[in-house]
Structure 1
Amino acid sequence: MSRNRVLGGRTAVVTGAARGLGAGLVRELADRGMRVALLGRERERLEEIARALAVEARCYVVDVSDDGAMEHTAQAVTDDLGPPTVVVANAGIAEGGPFATSDPASWRRVVEVNLVGSAVTARSYLPALLSTRGYFLQIASTAAFGSAPLMSAYCASKAGAESFAQSLRAEMAHQRVGVGIAYVHWTDTDMIRDGDRHTVLRELRAHMPPGARHTYPVARVAGWLARGIDHRSATIYAPPRLRFVQPLRPFLPFAVTAVSRWALPRLNERGTLEPTGLLGAGGQADLLSAADRAGKSL
């Protein structure tokens, strides 16, 4: 059966759709003939992406960690486009640097968006997914495989999101709602490019094995994910060869600690271990939205 016959005419929801992987995945699902709901913080970016699609698309500006706002948005999506068959919890932000000197608010916000936001997304759309016997995809990361130093908030949030999705999968299996987890490696997004401008994260990547440093184009990664959605896959690897890393997961913390014990003192001597703050345009959009909310509450 062709991919268009599987998904064509149905509704998909993608969070974090204003840029990067979310925008790429929106395009892939639209190519399959799906109506698309784009959720994010940047209205102009969302509308620009939606205008370029050849399918019906609606944009919703919302904070994925806000239960009430997400519940309202989920009802609006169903009213506007019909109950979704596919929901992708993609929204994510990151910050880097030593945990001891990290900004508590930024650290907490990464967990709120990446982990709590994923759970809020699932809670908001489960009624619709139950009615369509749909598919929920959690965007995780290789950060869930083996937590890296200097990325504690991001690694904790992605490991938590993985565990959340595994628990949800077990709960939903008898109700015929599929739950998938996508393990995504370095992807050429604003967040990753911004990270490379910070010495602390550039050095972190430089100490990885050569094959683990490669960055993949957004369109290619989105294609891998969309093919997994076609098949309601329980696990999606981007790139596909990451599946061979899974059996090595118990050993990765020991390897990471061994390298860190050697590398971090040298980086610290050079004065490069400084906090980055929230990374990329998406992180800055989240900061601006928070500042705007704070201003309105005064």
Structure 2
Amino acid sequence: MTDRSLAGQVLVITGAAGGLGSATAFECSARGAVVVLLDVDAAGLARVAATMPGECDTYELDVRDAGACNRVVEDILATRGRIDIVWANAGVSDYGPVDLLPEGTWQRIIDINLIGAHNIVRAALPAVMESEGYVAFTCSWASFAHQPGHSAYAAAKAGLEAFANSLRLELSGTGVRVGSFHPGWIDTTLVTKKMDQPAFAALLGALPGPFGAVTHTDKIVPHFVRALENRSSRMVYPRAGRILLVLRSALNTAPFTARSRAIAPEIRRLSKRDMTRS
């Protein structure tokens, strides 16, 4: 992998109105990238755009709408003339056993995390191929380490990693590189909004050592920036996740799932209690 400057590159990021997307966009903007921020949250986009140190465009976008993705990409190309990097980062997550989740929740998570990633990447791909650029996906530890209460999120992220791996092969010889990013538990709203759920807290408490720890966003952002600069094939952080990656073929065996299986009845009990109260 070769370091290359982000200066002047047009970087398109979904899920950019907060969390990892906005924090990484700021650092890339400071390095001279032209950041194009996409999110369903228009007010959040406006707040984030006001903090960017360099050139920035924003587009309100629901990635589930393939037609809207096509139109946004057309507008970006009309304004900026090129797309060098597209980062499919938009994601949502809800916690609880699949039969206890509200109707439609599982489908929504798949549609945003997986189908939405396809929609924006497919729309941007001709332009990225023209620039011999980079396609990145936020795949999470959940793509290879699966836990009770996260069935939809795990399914979406596992599918996203498979998409990245297949796309990387499809684009051989085009000059385009493809990367999968695998953050662990990070203190964005995706995690913090679930911290007051006793069932989720029980899961984190049952995971050994670093595997249940929540990492500050500031710690991981430099790794995202470096991966975008290097056009890395894979980025895993915190580093403890690399252990899970290496052991992925063993993670679903009885010795490795013992703690999760032991806490699963308590997760179900707490989830039922929360639903009764809400």
- Gaps in structure 2 of 5+ consecutive residues: none
1:245 CA displacement: 2.8
SS in 2 for 1:17: coil
Matches of 1:208 and 1:261, distance apart in 2: 11
Matches of 1:219 and 1:264, distance apart in 2: 32
1:225 CA displacement: 0.9
- Gaps in structure 1 of 5+ consecutive residues: 278-298
In structure 2, the CA distance between the partners of 1:202 and 1:177, relative to structure 1 (3 Å rule), is same
Q: Superposed, which structure 2 residues align to 1:133-172 within 5 Å?
A: 133-172=132-171
Aligned with residue 271 of structure 2, among 270, 273, 282: 273
Deviations 1:206-228 (A, max 9, x none): 11012112222212212101101
After alignment, is 28-37 or 244-253 more displaced?
A: 244-253
Q: Superposed, which structure 2 residues align to 1:247-286 within 5 Å?
A: 247-254=246-253, 255=255, 257-268=257-268, 271-274=269-272
Deviations 1:87-145 (A, max 9, x none): 11000000111112222311100000000011111101001101100001111011111
Tell whether the 8 Å contact from 1:65 to 1:113 is kept in structure 2 after alignment.
Answer: yes
Matches of 2:156 and 2:147, distance apart in 1: 12
In structure 2, the CA distance between the partners of 1:267 and 1:236, relative to structure 1 (3 Å rule), is closer
Could you tell me the TM-score, scaled by structure 1's length?
0.87
Partner of 1:198: 197
Partner of 1:226: 225
SS in 1 for 2:37: strand
Matches of 1:28 and 1:102, distance apart in 2: 36
Partner of 1:70: 69
C-alpha RMSD of matched pairs (Å): 1.8
- Name the amino acid aligned to 1:225: F
- Name the amino acid aligned to 2:141: T
Tell whether the 8 Å contact from 1:47 to 1:59 is kept in structure 2 after alignment.
Answer: yes
Could you tell me the TM-score, scaled by structure 2's length?
0.93
Deviations 1:34-67 (A, max 9, x none): 0110000111211121122121111100111111
Partner of 1:286: none
- Runs ≥4 residues deviating over 6 A: none
Structure having the larger proportion of residues in helix: 1
Partner of 1:217: 216
Identity %: 31
